[in-house]
Structure 1
Amino acid sequence: MPQDFLQLAGKTILVCGVANRKSVAWHVAQTLSDADCRVLYSVRSEARREQLAKLLGGDQDIFVCDVEHQEQIDRLAGDIAQRHGKIDGLVHSIAFADYEDGMRPFHETTRRAMLRAFDISCFSLIALCNALQNCLSEDASVVTVSISTTEMASENYGYMAPIKAALDSSLAFLAKSFSNFSRVRFNAVAPGLLKTSASAGIPGYVDSYLYAEQATLRGKAVQTSEVAAAAAFLLSPRSSGINAQHLVLDAGMRVNYFDESIVRSAVENRG
């Protein structure tokens, strides 16, 4: 097998959304670096830029772009065009939900909270792709981070599931739009429950995570490194036939909800 099986060596990929060592974006960036990619970074604030610079400990291009502000998205595109010309891929690992006031029943979701979360978590992908369209190489790959299912009403995930559903749907429309002038592909990695700093802020997440771990076929939750490996594949030329897709990584959980031990535990503890 060739050493560079994924054919990523020498490619330039922009990774948006690194928060810390536990974040999906960080793991994706490290996987790409191991594959000899040149990784560019975009974070939402100067403070995050300083934190990431310390983590990287080297001469890396780290841009600041708060995707709530179109002028910053435009500036990011301009800076990348000026410094690098073309990039071969984009990783969109950006999401936000306001859980500071605790969880509410879904029908009590406020307009302000949902629209802001939609802007940051979904529309930012469209805005970034539009701004960066002239920077993306002819056959670039765009990968976003979704969730394994948006059809399960997990109460502690709340309004973010419909927003992720919109994100998933956007892939098809972006792929169709860009097909008019390029071969750029748009896909999502869609993991089950992960241990990240972002997930730690979701009320009741730990219990859901532990249940998900029991429900996997292997009895072990999906690892962030596994998600990163799948993202690297989708960014690579080896996945050239995959477009507008949603790649689920849940270790078989979706086929195992009626596992005998889980059913027995639920029945014995009911009431």
Structure 2
Amino acid sequence: MNFLQVENKKYVIFGLANKKSVACAIGKTLVEQGAEVIHVVRSKERVANAKKLFPDSPVFICDVETEANIIRVRNEIEQSLDSRKNEKIAGLVHSIAFANYSQGMKPFHETRQADFLQAVNISCFSFISIANHFKDLLAEDASVVTITISTTKMAAENYGYMAPIKAALDSSLCFLAKSFSEFSRVRFNAVAPALLKTSASAGIPGYIDSYLFAEKAILRKKALTTQEAADTAVFLLSTRSSGINCQTIVVDAGMSVNYFDKEIVTKTVS
């Protein structure tokens, strides 16, 4: 028997964009372990790429910015399940984030209300909404996982207002788990990776420099890989993590303990 025990179970993944996505790495790992994966992508333009990456997986479309779309895709996925077997979803992945940097990076106190509210809707509220509308499709002991960031308390200027939004996402875990505990054993957790080399991150102003710094700050002097973040997510989706609930699992290869690394300090003060 496979250690993770995900064989023949169904998982829904929101957020596949391309082969560099965390969602892609999670999906491929689940498939390799014998699971069945259903992908939900943002637009029609992403369907072809998703089918190329996952030829045997169903692909649905949902722009989570509008809640009606979440309700629609929930109904579409329900129709794809085998009702005769009372088929359920073993886990959900929420790997979605958006911030409008089209006007360049501004000081945090100049954050535009419209940008902040749009980002919190897409990046945080969508997680709550997906959980709510998919609750009847989930197995009683299903696992729901979202992707966040390794710290929401560090004022990284080039990440701007997204850190407070990710903090709200982290906080949502305990409230969702408590709500769901009234009728199920569904667990809610988050994977919080350090800086990753993804297409989405490439759109963040100054990200490359931050990524290179993180590589120096990590104990092993080697950047975190997307696969490492995905492996943690797959573990949380499996029954082997049944005792973990309401947790944000930091995956940073030890970076958070190494900001006073001798090499970094020497280069800074010399």
Moved over 4 A (4+): none
Identity percentage of aligned residues: 60
Partner of 1:67 in structure 2? 64
1:35 pairs, out of 33, 36, 58, with: 33
Partner of 2:91 in structure 1? 89
**CA shift for structure 1 position 175:** 0.4
Aligned partners of 1:149 and 1:55: how far apart in 2?
Answer: 31
The farther-off stretch of 162-171 and 84-93 is: 84-93
Contact 2:15/2:42 (<8 A) preserved? yes
Matched residue SS, 2:136: coil
Partner of 2:4 in structure 1? 6
Contact 2:43/2:63 (<8 A) preserved? yes
Partner of 1:48 in structure 2? 46
The amino acid of 1:75's aligned partner reads R
Matched residue SS, 1:101: coil
Offset from partner CA, 1:12-37 (integer Å, 9 cap, x none): 00010000000100000001011100
Partner of 2:244 in structure 1? 242
Partner of 2:20 in structure 1? 22
1:170 pairs, out of 169, 172, 177, with: 172
Matched residue SS, 1:22: coil
Counterpart mapping for 1:109-124 below 5 A: 109-124=111-126
Counterpart mapping for 1:124-163 below 5 A: 124-163=126-165
The amino acid of 2:18's aligned partner reads N
**Structure 1, unpaired ranges of 5+:** none
Offset from partner CA, 1:48-99 (integer Å, 9 cap, x none): 112211232x242101011011221111111122211420000000100111
The farther-off stretch of 46-55 and 244-253 is: 46-55
Aligned partners of 1:74 and 1:15: how far apart in 2?
Answer: 15
Offset from partner CA, 1:216-255 (integer Å, 9 cap, x none): 0000111000011000000000000000000000010000
Q: Normalization by structure 2: what TM-score? A: 0.97
Matched residue SS, 1:156: coil
Aligned partners of 1:16 and 1:69: how far apart in 2?
Answer: 14
Count of matched residue pairs: 265
Matched residue SS, 2:222: coil
Aligned partners of 2:8 and 2:53: how far apart in 1?
Answer: 22
Offset from partner CA, 1:168-211 (integer Å, 9 cap, x none): 00001000000000000000000000000000000100000000
Partner of 1:232 in structure 2? 234
**CA shift for structure 1 position 266:** 0.6
Aligned partners of 2:234 and 2:148: how far apart in 1?
Answer: 15
**Structure 2, unpaired ranges of 5+:** 82-86
Offset from partner CA, 1:134-173 (integer Å, 9 cap, x none): 0011000000000000000000000000000000000010
Aligned partners of 1:168 and 1:150: how far apart in 2?
Answer: 9
Partner of 2:84 in structure 1? none
Counterpart mapping for 1:213-224 below 5 A: 213-224=215-226
